Amino acid sequence: GNSVTQMEGPVTLSEEAFLTINCTYTATGYPSLFWYVQYPGEGLQLLLKATKADDKGSNKGFEATYRKETTSFHLEKGSVQVSDSAVYFCALSDTGTASKLTFGTGTRLQVTL
C-alpha cells in the first residue's frame, strides 16, 4: 500500500536559516505529491504540489522537487521566517483526480528570532 515517511520534529530554526524537511514515499504507479501546511488553530492549506517526475512545486519561497529515482519530495526554503512556524504534512494521491490522500505524520517547525 501507499505510505509517506517524514522526518520527525520538531524542527527548531533561527529566522533566516535554511529549511529542509525530508519526505519519502512508497506508492504504485505515478502518484501526485503534495505539501500541506497547518498553522496553529487553523485547517490544512495546500502549500505546493507536483504531479509528475522532475516537476518542481513552489509557493511562498518553499520548493519541492518530485524525485522518482529516490522516491522523495523534500521541502526546502532558503530563509525561514517566524511566520513559517507551523506543522507541515507531506502527502500523496495515487490517481490524477482528487482521491484518497495518504499523509505523513507531519513535522512541526518552530522558527525563533
- 8 A C-beta contact, residue 58 and residue 71: no
For residue 37, the minimal CB distance to another protein (Å) is 11
Whole-angstrom CA distances from 31 to 22, 73, 107 are 17, 11, 21
For residue 3, the minimal CB distance to another protein (Å) is 11
The contact set with another protein (CB under 8 A) reads: 32, 34, 36, 42-46, 49, 51, 89, 93, 95-101, 103-106, 108
> DSSP per residue over 27-76, as a string?
-SS--EEEEEEE-TTS-EEEEEEE-STT-EEEETTEEEE-BTTTTB--EE
Comparing CB distances to another protein, the nearer of 73 and 106 is 106
Which conformational region is residue 78 in: left (phi greater than 0), alpha (psi within -120 to 50 degrees), or beta? alpha
For residue 42, the minimal CB distance to another protein (Å) is 6
For residue 55, the minimal CB distance to another protein (Å) is 12
67 vs 69: CA distance, rounded Å: 6
Comparing CB distances to another protein, the nearer of 19 and 57 is 57
Comparing CB distances to another protein, the nearer of 7 and 101 is 101
Comparing CB distances to another protein, the nearer of 17 and 51 is 51
